[in-house]
């Protein structure tokens, strides 16, 4: 399926760009946002400009997987969980090689609340997305998020589960996990980190 070239303005400097570019030729800022790391220190006003850029691009190509993932990442950074989830789910269709899309969609499902407060069907969907992300590319942060779900929803409610939160956490550590990733996860979730994981 051919995608048309869509001419846009760089959200950072206003130079002409198109979505096939990775970085702006003038200011060298990214054109496509693929991870939350890209937005971590970016001012909210600039994140909003990126979201506007992607919204404009989606008018001409509403099923573009890359642009849907990018706008969803912006929405997640802005804690617009429902809008982010909708865009991530569009980016999942026919896309089985980007584990981040499934991981971020799982994060969105908590809607800024503790896992303890979620409904069981929401937890089941989170686990489905995390398992899909880990099938594509197992990462420490994916298993860490699973450990959080296993602790806050299952362990705190005295439900048995396999793997346990401790087993999921051990896998996260084996795969590699940074304090930055953990900090970023809890910042996006909008909840405090439990002491036990």
Query: For all residues of the chain together, what is the average pLDDT?
Result: 92
Q: Are residue 19 and residue 80 in the same domain, yes or no?
A: yes
Cβ neighbourhood burial of 179 (10 Å; 0-12, 13-18, 19+): exposed
Q: What is the pTM of this model?
A: 0.91
Q: Are residue 91 and residue 130 in the same domain, yes or no?
A: no
Instruction: Look at residue 103 and tell me if it is in a domain.
Output: no
Q: Are residue 122 and residue 177 in the same domain, yes or no?
A: yes
Decide if 86 contacts 113 (C-beta within 8 A): no
Rounded Cα distance, 5 and 20, in Å: 7
Q: Which of 95, 128, 160 is the last residue of a domain?
A: 95
Query: Which residue range is the domain that position 30 belongs to?
Result: 1-95
Instruction: Look at residue 137 and tell me if it is in a domain.
Output: yes
Q: Are residue 85 and residue 4 in the same domain, yes or no?
A: yes
56, two tokens: 């404009």
Choose among 195, 156, 148: nearest CA to 172: 148
Q: Are residue 1 and residue 77 in the same domain, yes or no?
A: yes
The pLDDT of residue 1 is 41
Instruction: Look at residue 173 and tell me if it is in a domain.
Output: yes
The pLDDT tens digits of the residues spanning 106-155 come to 999 999 999 999 999 999 999 999 999 999 999 999 999 999 999 999 99
Instruction: Look at residue 136 and tell me if it is in a domain.
Output: yes
Decide if 150 contacts 161 (C-beta within 8 A): yes
95 three-class SS: coil
């Amino acid at each position: 399926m051919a995608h048309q070239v869509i001419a846009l303005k760089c959200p950072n400097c206003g130079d002409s760009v198109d979505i096939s570019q990775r970085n702006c030729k003038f200011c060298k800022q990214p054109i496509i946002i693929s991870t939350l790391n890209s937005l971590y220190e970016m001012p909210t006003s600039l994140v909003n400009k990126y979201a506007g850029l992607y919204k404009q691009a989606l008018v001409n190509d509403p099923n573009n997987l890359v642009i849907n993932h990018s706008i969803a990442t912006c929405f997640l950074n802005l804690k617009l969980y429902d809008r982010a989830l909708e865009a991530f789910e569009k980016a999942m269709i026919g896309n089985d090689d980007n584990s981040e899309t499934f991981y971020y969609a799982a994060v969105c499902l908590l809607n800024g609340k503790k896992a303890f407060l979620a409904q069981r069907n929401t937890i089941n969907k989170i686990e489905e997305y995390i398992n899909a992300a880990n099938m594509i590319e197992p990462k420490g942060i994916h298993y860490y998020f699973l450990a959080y779900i296993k602790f806050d929803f299952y362990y705190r409610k005295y439900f048995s589960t396999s793997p346990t939160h401790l087993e999921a956490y051990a896998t996260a550590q084996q795969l590699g996990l940074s304090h930055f990733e953990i900090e970023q996860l809890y910042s996006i979730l909008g909840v405090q980190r439990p002491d036990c994981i």
